């Protein structure tokens, strides 16, 4: 594997496979539980690769997937670029805080692209907290006429390779 690019060295604790459980809700849908796997890697360039897959806890059916990149354009700043198979692209920007045992990321959408058949999404925000081998996150979404509202929360643990 190539050496980690110095621009993203601060994100090294995120590299690996994360798995766990989460819960989703939104005013327009029934609440649901899910199992999730996130894989974060690198190829020696100034970004990390990101892929996410979820399955329903009740019957194991696939729910959602997304893929993208994490970038650190300046100290304390972070960008997340994501493509969803539902016809949505998302560019998020925000803050990165690193402390002794982990890091904290807070991002909000600066741009959302929609195909002609995608559901109307007007804003997204994400919050990630890494403490040791535990990664937690929350996602809020403004979609289909609803204001920015809590949508997802999960706790994932680092998986040993």
| Contact criterion met (CB below 8 Å) for 92 and 110 | yes
Half-sphere exposure of 117 (CA within 13 A, CB side): 4
Say whether 151 counts as a known binding-site residue.
Answer: yes
Say whether 45 counts as a known binding-site residue.
Answer: no
Residue 145, number of CB atoms within 10 A of its CB: 9
Say whether 5 counts as a known binding-site residue.
Answer: no
| Contact criterion met (CB below 8 Å) for 13 and 4 | no
DSSP designation for 115: -
Task: Quote the CA–CA distance of 152 and 60 in Å, as a whole number.
Answer: 18
- Strand ranges (DSSP E) for 85-148? 88-98, 102-114, 121-131, 134-143
| Contact criterion met (CB below 8 Å) for 63 and 54 | yes
Task: Quote the CA–CA distance of 129 and 105 in Å, as a whole number.
Answer: 7
Please report, in range form, the residues annotated as the binding site for heme b: 28, 119, 151
What residues form the annotated binding site? 28, 119, 151
């Amino acid at each position: 594997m190539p050496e980690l690019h110095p621009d993203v060295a601060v994100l090294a604790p995120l590299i690996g496979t994360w798995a766990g459980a989460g819960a989703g809700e939104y005013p327009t849908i029934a609440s649901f539980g899910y199992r999730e796997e996130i894989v974060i890697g690198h190829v020696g360039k100034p970004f990390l690769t990101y892929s996410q897959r979820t399955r329903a806890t009740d019957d194991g059916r696939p729910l959602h997937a997304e893929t993208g990149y994490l970038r650190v354009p300046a100290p304390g700043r972070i960008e997340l670029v994501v493509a969803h198979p539902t016809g949505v692209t998302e560019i998020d920007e925000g803050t990165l805080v690193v402390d002794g045992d982990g890091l904290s990321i807070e991002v909000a959408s600066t741009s959302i692209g929609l195909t002609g058949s995608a559901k109307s999404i007007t804003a997204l925000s994400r919050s990630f907290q890494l403490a040791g081998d535990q990664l937690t996150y929350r996602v809020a979404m403004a979609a289909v006429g609803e204001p920015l509202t809590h949508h997802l929360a999960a706790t994932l643990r680092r998986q040993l390779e």
